[in-house]
Structure 1
Amino acid sequence: MTPYRRLKLGLSFYPSGYHVAGWRFPGAIPDGGINLQHHVDVARAAEAACFDFFFLADTNAIWDPDLEAVSQTSWGAKFEPLTILSALAMVTNRIGLVGTASTTYNDPFSLARRFASLDHISAGRAGWNLVTSASAAEAGNFSLDQHPRHGDRYVRAREFVEVVTGLWDGYEDDAYRFDPESGIAFDPAKVRALDHRGPNFQVKGPLNLPRPVQGHPVMVQAGLSEAGRELAAETGEVLFTAQSELAPAKAFYDDVKARVMRFGRSADHLSIMPGAVTVVAGSRSEAEDQIAALDKLLPPSAGLAFLSGLIGDTDLSGFSLDDPLPPLPPTEGPKGRQQVVLEKARREGKTLRDLYRSIALTSGHRLVYGAPSEVADQLEDWYQAGACDGYNIAPAHLPGGFEAFANGVVPELQRRGLVQRGYAATTLRANLGLPHPPIRYARPAR
């Protein structure tokens, strides 16, 4: 357990940074998504800065069907998360390794096995970012004519989690002995077949490897909708949320923490960590110059296509860029994210041009920028106000944007006693102050 309440930090790694045009920024690694050394360098830098975890987002499709627009970004080329995280486990020692995997377009047995494998390979540093696949573009890659409805995806997700955690609980922690003298590899009395039979899955079990080092890899979620909040409150241990203003962030925090307690859990066992898109420079005006330079590198078609996908695969190409955002139909995609973006656009009277420029930089997250002390002030404000337990830091461009944060902001946060100066434990679960989960099921009698 962590010995004191502290601000937790994750690094949300988009290979060239969060800005859609980040790959064109001076000093960027244009092929960063498929550049192993780039991943290694940034992960090691995050570990040296004592970040809690390295976080990889993912989708199972190119994010927009407009290939001409997508060709103006580098986001279409990136490694599969668990493959690259397994490689990073070999060159890091303490930082957590969190990967995204969809419950909509995966099988629970194979996913449980892959994350259990990562947890063993990393000696207990794996985390699963559970998503339900917001993009309808993924359906066509998995033999489906259309994307499942939002509510149906969450029903499947809840059963998916039950199966995966049940498979992880299929062995007691000490079931495997690998004792050559006795000739016994594992104790059959400490193993159970899951024998799950539900509306979506029929899974016998057990897994063909021991229980994960952490019992369960840390459960990370990113839901904003009603269904997403409920699933996070019941099963999540880290919640990556998109919030851009303090009052809504505080209301969201209080709402989700209350839900956690209604499920009989400790509120401390779910860390709410909004995304914070960062631009760190010598002064606020220099940071603004970086933002302006990024904006100049963004073609309107790419920015508009990205916005269309983020708010629910809505085609905005036929609208004037200098008009306000038009009324949009409800989405079966990212409901919570659409609501955040639409409310902000209407409240601030943004034109489509203003909005796509903003979203191309932040994806709906909070923008934090300025000199290191100013950025530290902004991060501390929300934490002290009770709006978060930490942040998933998302530099606008990489690697320079993260170097500026790690070298300038982290020491300032450490000086204030807000973030850790070293790792208290060897596993991600223990570093986050989370308990080792007990086996949920009784063992069969021999």
Structure 2
Amino acid sequence: MTRREGPAVWAAFLWPGGHHHGAWRLPGSTGADLMSFENYKQMALDCERGKFDVVFLGDRLDAWPLPTEYLARTARAARLETLTLTGALAAVTSRIGLVATASTTFSEPFNLARQIGSLDHISGGRIGWNVVTSYTDDQAHNYGLDHIPPRPDRYARAQEFLDVVKGLWDSFEDDAVIRDKDSGQFFHAEKFHPLDHQGRHFKVAGPLNMERPPQGYPVICQAGASKEGIAFAGRNGELLFSVNSSLDRARDYYQAVKKAAADAGRHPDEVKVLASINPVVGRTEEEAEEKYEQMQSLLDDDVSRTFAEVYFGIDLSAYPMDEPVPEIELPDAAHGMPRAHQEYMLTRARDRKLTMRELVYGFNGTNIYPKSAEAAADEFQEWYETEACDGFILQISHVPEGVTDFVDLVVPILRERGLIRADYTGRTLRENLGLAIPRNRHAA
């Protein structure tokens, strides 16, 4: 096995209640307190102690797509707003990167440019923006729309949105502000630029009333797996989150993204692809299995089945529950769940020869399974060193305990193998990821 140079990129995807649907019910856990900033603070500090690159905060602009009678038996209906939470975490951490999610479909460029730029200044250059287009009618209903716009329209708006935001972040050139008290000159007038953007979706005059962010642009993150999503990531993304059902599929996806970046005129190394591998870890396989089975025992069968039916948009009663998952024709997903992830779940079930019952009752999160710390480290090493990814995004199954378990049990093994850094090498997220500061478009 050929060893890659340098450590992998590490991100922790924190979701209120944990990514496993039964984890909020664990006895003695504080994970059920979805509004607890102390939980998020503890997890962020644990990740910083482990020298992770990123704490990633996902978001939705609705509750969760379940009938209320079933939703009420989950920990999915409530969460903190991610930009607000990121600002609070910036104040209690010092080195780790912080990525917040914000939608281009239901926001305005000037507002988000100010909000995310402010976070980058407050944190000293540690912010990333997870650019999403949203994908469900439930979210559209909260913004005066009957349906979510079609995917091509959402991505066209997203591209223009991002172009406008970057233009606003370039309003002040890097050396524009001089703060010369003796002369009374605060900034060079000729280095302060309006935007005067007039496009299909937006009309924005600018300039932004904020100095350029410390990173030039906060790191642009993206998780799209559709054809449009890969193209968007190739053109714009710097940190890309991916989910694949096997090592071979992950390698194919990795190459597709790198090619998309090259086709867009970028160097493939400008896009860091993170794979989602999410073991429930223990000191031994038996200890990990015990933790996992405890969470599995806390799943609600009716909720799991209903969630799977809503997610796939199909009536599962038509399929024998104790036979292998067959080829399933999915309905039109234009106004529903992301097709790429639906196909991932079905492909994973067929690759692992799961029964329909195992698919439905195990519909508890993405790639969540038990492993000893040593075996987990082996899997991470294989994926990284065979170029299936540039690093990993861990969808932590149970919180906050799952973060502590990983940092205490797996990180020391990864560090011995050179897969995670011994200490931070830079002050900003870009520096730690090895990404250059984008050139200001107005620079001479």
1:269 aligns with 2:270: yes
For 1:79 and 1:322, the matched residues in 2 are separated by 37
Deviation at 1:164, TM superposition (A): 1.0
Report if the CA contact (8 A) 1:63-1:135 is conserved. no
SS at match of 1:360: coil
**Distance in 1 between the 2:348 and 2:372 partners?**
26
The whole-number CA distance in structure 2 between the counterparts of 1:34 and 1:23 is 13
Q: Deviations over 1:72-130 (max 9, x none)?
A: 11122111001011011111000000011111111111111110010001000000011
Q: 1:341-388: CA deviations, max 9, x gaps? A: 2323345554443213333132xxx34532211110011010011101
Are the structure 2 counterparts of residues 4 and 118 from structure 1 closer, same or farther at C-alpha, using a change threshold of 3 Å? farther
- Name the CA distance, whole Å, in 2 between partners of 1:89 and 1:321: 50
TM-score under structure 2 normalisation? 0.93
2:389 alignment partner in structure 1: 388
- Summarize deviations over 1:20-42 as a string: whole Å, max 9, x none: 11111233224443101111111
Question: Which of 341, 346, 349 in structure 2 is aligned with 1:345?
Answer: 349
Contact residue 196 and residue 203 of structure 1 kept, 8 A = yes
Which residue does 2:190 correspond to in 1? 189
Offset of 1:401 from its aligned partner? 1.6
Q: Report deviation, 1:442.
A: 6.2
Q: Is the counterpart of residue 61 in structure 1 residue 62 in structure 2?
A: yes
Is the 2:137–2:146 Cα contact (8 Å) retained in structure 1? no
Q: Distance in 2 between matches of 1:360 and 1:368?
A: 10
Report the Cα offset of residue 15 of structure 1. Answer: 2.5
Q: Check 1:309–1:121 CA distance in 2 against 1; reply closer, same or farther (3 A cut).
A: farther
Aligned position for 1:328: 330
* Matching of residues 22-41 of structure 1 within 5 Å: 22-41=23-42
The SS at the match of 1:11 is strand
2:434 is paired with a residue whose SS is coil
Aligned to 1:240: 241
Q: Secondary structure at the match of 1:33?
A: coil
SS in structure 2 opposite 1:387? coil
Shift of 1:321: 7.3
Instruction: Please tell me whether the aligned partners of residues 126 and 428 of structure 2 are also in contact (alpha carbons under 8 angstroms).
Output: yes
Spell out the pairing of 1:84-233 with structure 2 (5 A cutoff). 84-233=85-234
Secondary structure of the 1:327 match is coil
For 2:103 and 2:271, the matched residues in 1 are separated by 20
State the 1:178 CA deviation: 3.3
Matched residue SS, 1:90: helix
One-letter amino acid of the counterpart of residue 203, structure 2: Q
SS of the residue 2:275 aligns to: strand
Separation of aligned partners in 2, 1:316 and 1:21: 23
| RMSD (Å) for aligned C-alpha atoms | 2.0
User: What is the match of residue 356 of structure 1?
Assistant: 360
CA distance in 2, matches of 1:287, 1:374: 11
- Where does residue 397 of structure 1 map in the other structure? 398
1:320 shift after superposition: 6.0
Residue 292, structure 1, aligned to residue 290, structure 2: no
Residue pair 1:177, 1:187 contacting (<8 A) in 2 also: yes
Describe the SS at the equivalent of 1:58.
coil
Tell me the distance in 1 between the aligned counterparts of 2:350 and 2:38.
42
1:8 aligned partner: 9
Structure 1 unaligned segments of length 5 or more: list them.
Answer: none
**1:377 aligns to what?**
378
Decide whether the 8 Å contact of 1:30 with 1:74 is kept in 2. Answer: no
Aligned sequence identity (%):
38
Contact 1:310–1:334 (8 Å) recurs in 2: no
Residue 309 of structure 1: how far off its partner (Å)? 5.0
Partner SS, residue 273 of structure 1 = strand
- TM-score normalised by length of structure 1: 0.93
Distance (Å, rounded) in 1 between the aligned partners of 2:152 and 2:228? 7
Which secondary structure state, in structure 2, belongs to the residue aligned with residue 142 of structure 1? coil
- Report the CA distance between 1:308 and its aligned residue: 4.2
One-letter amino acid of the structure 1 residue matched with residue 429 of structure 2: L
In structure 2, how many angstroms separate the alpha carbons of the residues matched to 1:183 and 1:220?
A: 40
- Aligned-partner residue type, residue 335 of structure 1: R
Quick check: 1:241–1:272 contact (8 Å CA) kept in 2? yes
Q: 1:102·1:133 contact (CA, 8 Å) conserved in 2?
A: yes
Distance of 2:194 and 2:213 partners within structure 1: 16
Change (3 A) 1:377 1:201: same
The answer (yes or no) to whether the contact 2:31–2:398 under 8 Å persists in 1 is no
Q: CA deviation at 1:191?
A: 1.3
Provide, for residues 236-262 of structure 1, a one-character-per-residue CA deviation record: whole Å limited to 9, x for no partner. 001001112100000110111112112
Any unmatched runs of 5+ in structure 2? none
Partner letter of residue 327 of structure 1? E
User: What's the secondary structure of 2:364's corresponding residue?
Assistant: helix
Quote the Cα distance in structure 2 between the aligned partners of 1:330 and 1:77. Answer: 28
CA contact (8 A) 2:9 2:391 kept: yes
SS in structure 2 of the partner of residue 361 of structure 1: coil
Give the 3 Å change call, closer, same or farther, for CA 12–310 of structure 1 in structure 2: farther
Task: Give 1:432's aligned residue.
Answer: 433
Q: Distance in 1 between matches of 2:120 and 2:296?
A: 40
Count of aligned positions: 436
Distance 2:319 2:21 in 1: 21
SS of equivalent to 1:431: helix
Residue 368 of structure 2 contacts residue 397 of structure 2 at CA under 8 Å; is this kept in 1?
no
Q: Secondary structure at the match of 2:142?
A: helix
Q: CA separation of 1:113/1:19 partners in 2, compared to 1, >3 Å: closer, same or farther?
A: same
